[in-house]
Each structure stands twice: as C-alpha cells, then as structure tokens.
Amino acid sequence: MKKLSCVGLISYVVVMIFIPVITGLWLFSGRQPSGYVKDNGGKTEISYLDVADGKVRICDIEEYLVGVLAAEMPAEYELEALKAQAVAARSYILSKTDSRSDKHPTADICNDSAHCKGHLDEKMAKESWGKKKGDTYWQKLTRATEETKGEYMVYGDEVVEAFFFARSGGRTENSEDVWGESRPYLRSVESTGDLSYSEFVSTAEFENSEARKRLGTFENQSEGPLSIGKITRTDGGNIKSIEIDGKEYKGTEIRKIFDLKSADFDVTQTDKSVIFSVRGFGHGVGMSQFGANEMAEIGKKYTEILSHYYTNIQIVKK
Ligand SMILES: [Zn+2]
C-alpha cells in the first residue's frame, strides 16, 4: 500500500507537475520568437542585425521604422503612401519576430535591403536627402510612423508578411508565381497607377554570344539569333516560363540571369543581339510603392491602399 502510494505520488508528480512544466517549457520554447518582441514601458522592442558591423541591436520598433521608410520609399511620396508603407513595414517586421531567418537566428531582422528591409539612421538619411530637405523629410517620415503607431495587418490570426516592391507592369503577382508559396493575402491585383510612370519600360540588350554565356549554352552554340520558343505568363503578367534554344526557364530565372528590373518582359531579336523590354521594377508581390503613391494622389487613404494591395486583411493596433 505504502509502495502503491509512493508510485501514486510519483505518478501524481509526473502527471500534475512534471509534464505540465515540460509542456510549458516546450510551449514557451515554441512561442519564444514572439517573446523577442518585448513591451518595455509601452515600447515594442525588436532586435536587428546591423550588417555593417555584424552586431545585433535592440531598439523600439517605432523609431526603427522611420529609418526603414527612409531607406525603402522616396520621402517625397504622399503622406498616405508613406503611412501605408509604415504599416506594411511594421507588419513585415512583426511577422519576422515569429519566424526568424536562418541567416540571423539571433535577430528578428537585418538591415540588408536585399534580405530583410533596408534602414538608414537619421544622420545617413539626412545626408542622402541634402541639407535643404533633410529635416522636413525626416519629420514627414516620423509623422507617417506616428500617425499609424502600433498598427499592423493580420489575415485571420496571422501577421501579414507584407512584401512590397517599387512598381509593377500594371498588375501585381500571386506569391506562388514568384516564390512557389501561395499566401491568401498576396494575390494578383490591378495596379494601374504604375502605367503612368515615365520610365515604365526599360530595355536591356545582349549580344547573342553574351546571352548564351549567361545562359550557360555558349559551348553548344555561339552564333546566330537565340531560338525563342513557347512563352507562358502569370496572372499578373510576368513571364512564367520561356523556352530559349530548346530549354525552358522560369521568368524569375531569366530576370536573375540577365539582371532585369522585373520578370514582366517581352523579347525581340536582331541578327546580333537579344533585347528585353521590361515593364515595372521589382518582384511584383504585395504593394506597389509607385501604385500606392498614385492612389494617395487621387485621395485614397492608407487603409484603402493597404486593403487594395493585400487581399482580405484587417488592420489592427498593438
Ligand atoms: Zn535579414
């Protein structure tokens, strides 16, 4: 009996205390990323890797956002576009606190614009704008951040990983057509404001031999025009696939190989060269910054801009 009691007691301890503690630890461990966002006296703190010196720093997300706006969107853009950008960037950063990149597991984000989001501190930003406009622009970006303080987008319970880019070719892209992963809030939508951009189409020309070197097919054939075969396009208008010299490439691959501004392009040829006529600039997923500015210019609010570019999202406040 005594032995049984002892077993009972051990079982009790295991079931009632040990397992919950272990489970609790496990749950805590699983939820740890959101713990990285610390509320400190009303401030939401995040950690970022400064790629300039390799150090991880902690800062208030609202202060950090002003520097993200400075790096990521032209400061002369309309206030409502900058406010949309502030909410999009805040959402992006908060989404990263729940799923840190393997490239910097000790920091929520980094300040490399090619990986996470760019960031300029006040001094650097003002230097880039020049003495005349520096103070005004910094104040404007601060205002865009303050007037949307704590606001971010959710889709259901999920914080929206709010991608954005410079300008589209008239429509944005479905996320799966660019990166293979479908997100319900990253759908292809119209972005007609982008069409008014004066440098809407850029061209890139390559001699046939250079084009084949880049494609890695130079050894097989160096002379003569490239043979362009079947082309398919995405819902957003980007090249989905293109056949060149009998080999099929994704549009995103061709963009990378030829360093094109986007994957929305046409191909023409001469005897000696191949010419890409490229519409827009960027990956095409999420908010077009130029399109957002065009919407702001015709009186749309930042909430309308965000609801247009991110499908079925809600804006909530922390
Ligand atoms: Zn990063």
> 111 lies in a domain?
yes
Whether residue 154 is found in the same domain as residue 97: yes
Q: pLDDT, tens digit, for every residue of 119-136?
A: 999 999 999 999 999 999
In this structure, the number of other CB atoms found within 10 A of the CB of residue 68 comes to 28
Give the model's confidence band at 26: pLDDT under 50 very low, under 70 low, under 90 confident, else very high.
Answer: very low
Give the model's confidence band at 214: pLDDT under 50 very low, under 70 low, under 90 confident, else very high.
Answer: very high
> 260 lies in a domain?
yes
Its domain, for residue 156, covers 43-164+302-317
Q: How far apart are CA 139 and CA 122, in angstroms?
A: 10
Distance 262 CA to ligand 1 centre (A): 22
> 129 lies in a domain?
yes
Closest C-alpha among 259, 224, 261, 255 to residue 242 = 255
Distance 17 CA to ligand 1 centre (A): 40
Distance 56 CA to ligand 1 centre (A): 12
The one-letter amino acid code at 92 reads Y
Average pLDDT of the chain to the nearest whole number: 88
Q: pLDDT, tens digit, for every residue of 46-99?
A: 999 999 999 999 999 999 999 999 999 999 999 999 999 999 999 999 999 888
Whether residue 92 is found in the same domain as residue 160: yes
Q: pLDDT, tens digit, for every residue of 199-212?
A: 789 999 999 999 99
| DSSP characters over 177-220 | HHHS---TT----B-GGGGG-TT-EEEEEEEHHHHHHHHT-TTT
Whether residue 155 is found in the same domain as residue 85: yes
User: Could you give the count of Cα atoms lying within 13 Å of 299 in the half-sphere of its Cβ?
Assistant: 0
> 9 lies in a domain?
no
Whether residue 306 is found in the same domain as residue 269: no
pLDDT at 219: 75
Is residue 204 within 8 Å of 275, Cβ to Cβ? Answer: yes
> 124 lies in a domain?
yes
> 264 lies in a domain?
yes
pLDDT > 90 fraction of the chain, expressed in percent and rounded: 75
Q: What is the domain count for the chain? A: 2
Give the model's confidence band at 43: pLDDT under 50 very low, under 70 low, under 90 confident, else very high.
Answer: confident
Q: Which residues contact 60 (CB under 8 A, 6 or more apart)?
A: 40, 43, 44, 45
Would you call 302 exposed, middle or buried from its count of C-beta atoms within 10 A (0-12, 13-18, 19+)? Answer: buried
Distance 115 CA to ligand 1 centre (A): 5
Distance 108 CA to ligand 1 centre (A): 8
Distance 181 CA to ligand 1 centre (A): 19
Q: Which residue has the higher pLDDT, 222 or 109?
A: 109
Whether residue 250 is found in the same domain as residue 312: no
Query: Which residues lie at CB < 5 A from ion ligand 1?
Result: 110, 115-116
> 21 lies in a domain?
no
Q: pLDDT, tens digit, for every residue of 11-23?
A: 544 444 444 333 3
